[in-house]
Amino acid sequence: MFAVVALFCILAFVLLGPFLVKPIEEHLELFLFAMGALAVSVASLWSWPLAVEGLTEPIKISAAVLAAGSLFKLLKPYARKAVEKGVGAIGIKSFAFLVVVLLGLVSSVVTAIVASLLLVEVIDCLRLDRRDEVRLVVLSCFAIGVGAVLTPLGEPLATIVIAKLQGEPYRAGFWFLAERLWLFVVPGVLVFGALAAVFVGDRRDDPGLAEEGAETWGGILLRAGKTYLFVMALVLLGSGFKPIVDAYIAKLPAAGLFWINTVSAILDNATLAAAEIGPAMSPSQLAASLLGLTIAGGMLIPGNIPNIVSAGKLGIRSREWARFGLPVGFAAMAACFGALLALGLL
């Protein structure tokens, strides 16, 4: 009983600490690693296979972040010319649609981090009203956050879910999430693209948003290292919280999990996935939980990695994001909930 109470206390600290304490937010990877190690210790679940999993599971996504980030830096000088040609050829509205859709769909391959860096470069090249550029960034980050869940290369949330479901009964492989969620993800990305075409106005030669700080090789290496530590921490958190996931969270109805996960608007959705997802959950619970996490994660800046990267580099304020992100997010949640009901998954 003591272990269960202690695990719930650790879970509360993990979820609220980054939101309430600034130093924790600034050193999130180290904090989560420490909390993961503590949770595994409290649950008495340390083992050699867990250590191996913690060391090897982050390799793929960290390598993808490093490789894609390096390629992106080398190709960056051509970005402005490509944007100018694209807008000139098809117009700003069609270009906005393509940006959102393409970034959303490729994010599961190039990683959500690199997709958000590409978004920053595109926005830096455009000359739109600031409000329109903020809307384009928010819609793009919704699409990236949803699209990146399709493969374990896309973002830490997908990486940790695949790691936690590799055993029975799911035996999750590389395409496990894509096979189960594409029916929701692809239409969702297209809708976000269509909204971008609606909300983005004509070019006005305004300064708009601008990138704050150039990309460096040191920054690329640091980002890959932080990604490695972050995923390792999530592996430990997922294992440490397994007793309360199996005993309590796995018993919640799918509809309840879907709406409870609106808290991922203020709490990183990968951290929530590490605490919540487990093999004891049914397929409908998994679908509802993951869709709730990925959609709600776009509502506010702290919700997922693309938001944090894009807002930080472009200087978007929390209120600016929330003013557009909250109504769009709740509308998307309602539409997705209706689709889940219509398909009999709730």
Is a pLDDT exceeding 60 seen at residue 262?
yes
pTM: 0.83
Sign of CA dihedral 338, 188, 288, 328: negative
**pLDDT band at residue 214, thresholds of 50, 70 and 90?**
low
Residue 78: predicted pLDDT: 76
Q: What is the mean pLDDT of residues 321-346?
A: 93
The 10 Å Cβ neighbour count of residue 179 is 11
What's the token pair of residue 99?
A: 């940006």
Both tokens assigned to 177:
């999430």
Tally of CB atoms within 10 A around 297: 33
pLDDT digits over 149-179, tens only? Answer: 999 989 889 998 998 898 899 999 999 999 9
pLDDT of 30 higher than 60: yes
- How far is Cα 310 from Cα 118, in angstroms, rounded to an integer? 9
For residue 226, pLDDT over 90 is answered with no
Higher pLDDT, 254 or 69: 254
